[in-house]
Amino acid sequence: MAKNQLFFLLVFSTTISFAQGPPITTQTPVMLGLEGNGIRTFGKFISKEKANAYVQVFAVPYNISSKFQVGGILPYKSISPKGMSSTNGFSDVILFAKYQLYKQDGKAKTFRVLANVKQTFPTGNTSNMPAIGSGLSQTYIGLIIGKITSSVGFYNDFGYTLSNKGATDSFSYNFSVGIPLLPQKYPQKQLNSFLEFNGNYLFDSKIHTLFISPGLQFIPGRRFLFETSFQIPVIQQNIRANKTNYMLLLGTRFLLN
Amino acid sequence: MKKLFKKTPFIALVFAFLFFGQTTVKAQNKSDHVYIKIEVNGMACPYCAFGMEKQLKKVSGVDNVKIQLKEGLAYIATLKKQKPLKESLALIITNAGFTPGKIEYSDKPFVIKDTPKTKE
């Protein structure tokens, strides 16, 4: 695998796997309200030993039905290696689809399982160093599982990413626990706290990364939310150079209709 | 001044008519309504309750929706002549991504107890 591609996968593997709704860095099986027909954008600052990067992500989900959602993700990236000139531009476009496989609803609680497919297209520029795009077509197949009650939410997503051009395949996994800090009434201002874990394993290079990500989310009304998450590395196995120091996410989501 | 005293019963009559007339109209409006309590299973978080509220507001004649999250209940009111069928309400809830439970109709408004302001 080309060094350029490995650099890309190491820097951005955790930024691609983002959530469509609460929680912050794990996906949710609920495709309603702020998870439905709205827009999500967040900025992520990534501090590494030999580079800093900033990613601004725009994501638009669309509910075809209550069980089926499609959408697109457009990331804008800026990479500043230490001692080198920075590069920036729109990166690889991602299209995704989610389908609800199972649902068990109760009074103020739900358990849902979704199938999740993502296709990454190599639309980002690869001519500069470091590259903004991966130059790879990648297909992700995974599951999203969640149990949500009015007092706590458990979320989990995991999946396998197939890459072309001989690049390494990977397995990513995210887990989140969300606890509301204010009484769960409707409509009301909400303040939610999250403790999340974001893992990724690259098969060929046997690189395993795991981040612990505490986060806060403020929902001032029906249509807006603001969120932040601080991602700290706890495992960076087989990475010899340019380890990640931390990642900081600041984002918002809003409903259009 | 004498003229004013002479006119006072007339003015009082006009005010009385306006006051009682308005009360009668309000009472008539209430008696024209049917109140509906719907169990919505799966409504576990405030951000997903918004989807339910939006869909219920689309029901003909409904302009106000009250959601009780912890109880998993939604309340609506509409004119009796526009009373929606249970089947159509159940379909709206299913299409919104939830599971419908018991649906109750009443000629009187339901007593809605606010959830105590304690951490759940």
Residue B69 has pLDDT above 80, yes or no: yes
Inter-chain CB proximity B69 and A186 less than 8 Å? yes
Percent of chain A whose pLDDT exceeds 70: 90
Mean pLDDT value of segment A131-153: 94
Average pLDDT, chain A: 89
For B44, which DSSP code?
Answer: -
- Split at pLDDT 50, 70, 90, the class of A34 is low
pLDDT tens per residue, range A44-72 = 999 999 999 999 999 999 889 989 999 99
Mean pLDDT value of segment A20-28: 78
The residues with which A235 forms a beta bridge, in sequence order, are: A210
In chain A, what are the domains?
A: 3-255 (2.40.160.40)
* Contact with chain A for residue B59, Cβ under 8 A: no
E strand or H helix that includes residue B16: helix B2-31
* Contact with chain B for residue A135, Cβ under 8 A: no
Q: Structural domain boundaries of chain B?
A: 1-31, 33-106
Counted across chains A and B, CB pairs separated by less than 8 A come out at: 106
**DSSP track, B57-111:** HTSTT---EEEETTTTEEEEEEEGGGPPPHHHHHHHHHHTTSEEEEEEEESS---
pLDDT of residue B10: 54
Residue B117 has pLDDT above 70, yes or no: no
pLDDT of residue A144: 97
pLDDT of residue A245: 96
Inter-chain CB proximity B115 and A185 less than 8 Å? yes
**DSSP track, chain A:** --HHHHHHHHHHHHHHS--SSSSSSS--S--SGGGSSEEEEEEEEEEESSEEEEEEEEEEEEESSSSEEEEEEEEEEEEEETTS--EEEE--EEEEEEEEEEEEEETTEEEEEEEEEEEEE--S--SSSS-SS----EEEEEEEEEEEESS-EEEEEEEEEEESTTPPPEEEEEEEEEEESS---SS--EEEEEEEEEEEEETTTTEEEEEEEEEEEEE-SSSEEEEEEEEEEEEEET--SS-EEEEEEEEEEEE--
Predicted TM-score of the model (pTM): 0.84
Residue A81 has pLDDT above 80, yes or no: yes
Inter-chain CB proximity B41 and A183 less than 8 Å? no
Inter-chain CB proximity A33 and B50 less than 8 Å? yes
B61 sits in the region (left: phi over 0; alpha: psi -120 to 50; else beta) called: left
Percent of chain B whose pLDDT exceeds 70: 69
Distance, in angstroms, between B68 CA and closest chain A CA? 7
pLDDT tens per residue, range B8-65 = 555 554 555 444 444 433 434 567 899 999 999 999 888 778 888 888 998 988 878 9
Residues of A in contact with B72 (CB under 8 A): 106-108
Tell me the CATH class for B33-106: alpha beta
Residue A132 has pLDDT above 90, yes or no: yes
pLDDT of residue B118: 37
Mean pLDDT value of segment A211-226: 91
